[in-house]
Amino acid sequence: MITFKDVSFCYPSYGREPKKVLFDVSFSIPDGSFVGIAGNMGSGKTTLCKLMSGLLKPSSGQIERSKSVSFAMQFPESQLFESTVIKDVMFGPMNRGLSEKEARMISEECLVSMGLGKDFFDRNPLRLSGGEKRRVALAGILSMDADTIILDEPCAGLDPKWHDRLLEILHGLNEKGKTVIIVSHNIDDIARNCRTLLYLKDSKLADMGKAKDVICRHEELETSSMAFAKRLTDAGFKIDFKKAVTTEDLASLIADRQSSL
Ligand SMILES: Nc1ncnc2c1ncn2[C@@H]1O[C@H](COP(=O)(O)OP(=O)(O)OP(=O)(O)O)[C@@H](O)[C@H]1O
Ligand SMILES: [Mg+2]
């Protein structure tokens, strides 16, 4: 469980008026949730992740975490620092006290799950492609085996195959009981994958609830199916676009309409 109670946060401003980037945020995320965080650029999503993971301390209010948390930063590839891929991924498990043998075994498994086989283990992580670096960094996050995994825009920069594969991996972890929290600008991804959505607007938690319900309540959170349903309505094929959150929702609305004709 992660609980925020009236949490506010200001970045230090060194002489100028402190910049408050989160105001009075309160929520609870139960264990085993699959949560999305959405909001415009600069709305405070990354700051919220850093507070949830303990990288930042709140300026006021309380944060409680009952379990271990690992956090994949917005550009996780910038977290790579070891001389080889395998050493980089082993850093987390070694740090939590596993033997070298155990750490290696887990790290190899995580790398393979991210499509990086033996050939990659001894390569310098800095001499990989952008997508490969990102997958090494994500393998490093998975190897920590934390109870809660927070990922800040994890799919940005991945090709469609790895985009889908990563979400599949996250669902697998969630089915095993882990709490998964992802930040995304892609509302389609959130609608398809997250049960709960936290929506940040103007540095405040503007809404939180069942992902589809939150999406319906805010015009800015339109999915591509909702946009398409609007175009169909404009073209004379009337559909309640607010109910067309996912492609599946749209398909069943079209089927219902056809059968009622
Ligand atoms: N280290 C910092 N010092 C001062 N201000 C910061 C710092 N980091 C972020 N900010 C400011 O805090 C606000 C929230 O930033 P944050 O990175 O949390 O937004 P975000 O929602 O993650 O944006 P994006 O979608 O662009 O990643 C922004 O106005 C930003 O300029
Ligand atoms: Mg961010």
The 3-class SS string of the chain reads CEEEEEEEEEECCCCCCCEEEEEEEEEEECCCCEEEEEECCCCCHHHHHHHHHCCCCCCEEEEEECCCEEEECCCHHHHCCCCCHHHHHHHHHHHCCCCHHHHHHHHHHHHHHCCCCHHHHCCCHHHCCHHHHHHHHHHHHHHCCCCEEEEECCCCCCCHHHHHHHHHHHHHHHHCCCEEEEECCCHHHHHHHCCEEEEEECCEEEEEEEHHHHHHHCHHHCCHHHHHHHHHHHCCCCCCHHHCCCHHHHHHHHHHHHHHC
**Which ligand gives the minimal distance to the CA of 42?**
1
CATH 3.40.50.300 in the chain, residue ranges: 2-216
Looking at residue 75, what is its pLDDT?
Answer: 85
Residue 122's φ and ψ, nearest 5 degrees, are -100, 10
Average pLDDT score over residue span 5-20: 86
Widest CA span in the chain: 68
Which pLDDT score, from 0 to 100, does residue 227 have? 96
Instruction: Among 17, 21, 41, 200, name the best residue to mutate to test ligand 1's pocket (greatest count of ligand atoms within 8 A of Cβ).
Output: 21
Using a CB cutoff of 5 Å, list residues around ligand 2, an ion. Answer: 45-46, 74
In the predicted model, what is the mean pLDDT of residues 191-214?
97
Q: What is the mean pLDDT of residues 131-142?
A: 92
Write down the pLDDT at residue 60: 96
Q: In this structure, what token pair is assigned to residue 51?
A: 């507070």
Using CA positions, which residue lies closest to atom 7 of ligand 1? 11
Average pLDDT rounded to a whole number, residues 75-101: 91
CATH architecture entry for 2-216: 3-Layer(aba) Sandwich (3.40)
Which ligand 1 atom minimizes the distance to the CA of 44?
A: 18
- How far apart CA 166 and CA 76 sit, in angstroms, is 14
Mean pLDDT (whole number) for 127-139: 92
Nearest CA to ligand 1 atom 12: 21
Ligand 1: residues within 6 Å at CB? Answer: 11, 19, 21, 39, 41-47, 74
Give per-residue pLDDT as tens, 235-260. Answer: 999 889 889 999 999 999 999 888 87
Return the C-alpha torsion angle 115, 172, 209, 40, nearest 10.
Answer: 0
pLDDT by residue (tens digit) across 93-128? 999 899 999 999 999 999 999 999 999 999 999 999
pLDDT tens profile 15-29: 777 778 999 999 999
Q: How far apart are CA 196 and CA 212, in angstroms?
A: 8
The mean per-residue pLDDT over the stretch 2-8 comes to 98
pLDDT above 80 (res 74): yes
How is residue 83 written in tokens?
């001389």
Query: What's residue 188's pLDDT?
Result: 96
- pLDDT (mean) for 149-154: 95
The whole-angstrom separation of Cα 74 and Cα 195 is 22
Q: Which residue has the tokens 């401003």?
A: 13
Computed over every residue of the chain, the mean pLDDT equals 94
